[in-house]
Each structure stands twice: as structure tokens, then as C-alpha cells.
Amino acid sequence: MAVLLRIGPRGPRLRDALREAWRGRELLAFLVWRDVKVRYAQAALGAAWAVLQPLAAMLVFAVVFGRVAKLPSDGIPYASFCYVALVPWTFFANAVAGAGNSLVGQSHIVTKVYFPRVFVPASPVLAGVVDLVVAYPLLFALMAWQGTFPGLGLLLLPLLTIAVGLLAFGVGAWFAALNAQYRDVRHALPFVVQIWMFASPVVYPYSMATGRLRPLLAANPMTGLIEAHRAALLGRPFPWPEFAWSLAATALVAASGLYFFNRVERRLADVL
């Protein structure tokens, strides 16, 4: 009976990959800066698009869901209620889309030059933080115009931003590795992100969900993070159970995404 014995190099350990990524952090900073410059290159409005994108969505949602459908907003002016959720959601959606397509889009570099591959999906996520910083002043101006002011919960904003970014990185790493092997993922990704938005309490309040729908909505890690943003910025009661679950789910998604990406990394040169 013939026995097939396959001898090959051992796959990179996750701990070694993280150590290598830390040593190359200056390269990561360069890739993030390059992504920011490329994003707004030859754009007449430049970084203003970081504000216009959620602003346009807020105006449409305010008319459709606030005026026509008359969805409740927990006693908060609908424009502020919606825009507080749209800012982190836009960051999350753009980061997932950018990270998910990053490996295929930069295959000409990935297949020719060696560097920590995890930088490829990580750089669009970190570059999105710049858009987030640009978008927040308009949010605060809108809240002030509608008579809503953030309290001490504002101090939680950096932690919430890190949590959203970490979740976006985990999801993006999963999609980037899958997209490298199956190009169908590239076509499915926009639909997944769009459906995910309506499965998150962006245009409606979490309190609107009742019965069996409530635990299903709470299982979505973006639910706790969006509600935490509203609590921090609009002075609402903090959703500790949902937020704790979101943090646990974020850690799980980020760790599993990094692990899966690390497993697929050694085959990238063959599949890209």
C-alpha cells in the first residue's frame, strides 16, 4: 500500500506574524498615508466627501424614514438620531469594502514584494479613521443646531471607534482572504454590506424591536456599537448588555479573521 508523504514548510504562526507586523509598523503607516492620498486624488472636493457621504444619506433617510414612514427616534430629533449612527456605520462599511477588495486590488504588489500581508486589509481600515475625524465636526454642529449636546459619554468615543475599527478589520480580513480564492465574493460584498446596514439600528431605534426580533438584532455586533454611540453622544442610557456582547463578538471576529487570513496567506501567490 503506497503512502503519500508530503514535506513542506510549516505555515507561519499567528504569534510570529503579529511580531513581524509590529516590526514593520512604519511601512503600515506609509500604506495608510498612501491610501488617504489615493482616495482623494483628483477629487475637486477632496476630504469633503467624508462629510458629504453620510450627510447625503442622512438627508434621504430623514425624508423617507423620518417624514414619510414616521419611524420613531426615541424622542430625539430624527436628523441627529440618524446621523449619529450613520457616521460610525459609514466608517465600518467603507472599511469592510476597502479591506475586502484590498488583496485582489493590490495583487501586483502582493505577488512581487514580500511584506506583512496583513497590512493590506489593515491600511484601508486605518485610513477610514481620517474620514471619521473629518465627519464628526458636522455631527456636533448638527446636534448643537437641534439643541442636543454630548455629555461625559463623549469620553467613550475613542474606545467606540477602536471597537468599530477592530470589527471592520476582522470582517474585512475574512472577506479579503475569501475574495482572493473566490472572486464571487467581490460581487457579493456590496449586497452583504447593504443588507447588514438594514439589519443594524441605523435608521430605526433598537427599542423598536420586540419579541423574537430583539435577540436577533442584538446578536448583530454593530447593534451594541451603534446604540453605544447614541448613548455616548445623545445622553441616552448606556446599553451595557448589548455593548458587552458586541465587544466579545468583535474580539472573536477579529481574532478569527486574523487567523483565517494568516492561514490563507501562504497560498496568496498561487490564487491571486
The pLDDT of residue 14:
65
Cβ neighbours of 200 (radius 10 Å) = 23
Predicted confidence pLDDT, tens digits, the chain (272 residues)? 555 655 555 555 667 777 877 888 888 999 999 888 887 777 777 777 878 888 888 899 999 998 899 898 888 899 999 999 999 999 999 999 999 999 888 887 887 888 888 899 999 999 999 888 888 888 888 888 888 888 788 899 999 999 999 999 999 999 999 999 888 998 999 999 999 999 999 999 999 988 888 999 999 999 999 999 999 999 888 999 999 999 999 999 999 999 999 888 877 767 76
The pLDDT of residue 47:
73
The pLDDT of residue 1:
54
The pLDDT of residue 12:
55
The pLDDT of residue 20:
79
The pLDDT of residue 199:
95
The pLDDT of residue 49:
81
The pLDDT of residue 110:
80
Please answer whether residues 39 and 127 qualify as being in contact, where contact means their C-beta atoms are separated by less than 8 angstroms.
yes
The pLDDT of residue 151:
76
Q: Which residues of 168-187 are buried (b: 16+ CB within 10 A; e: fewer)?
A: bbbbbbbbbbbbbeeeebbe
C-alpha to C-alpha distance for 180 and 174, rounded to whole angstroms = 10
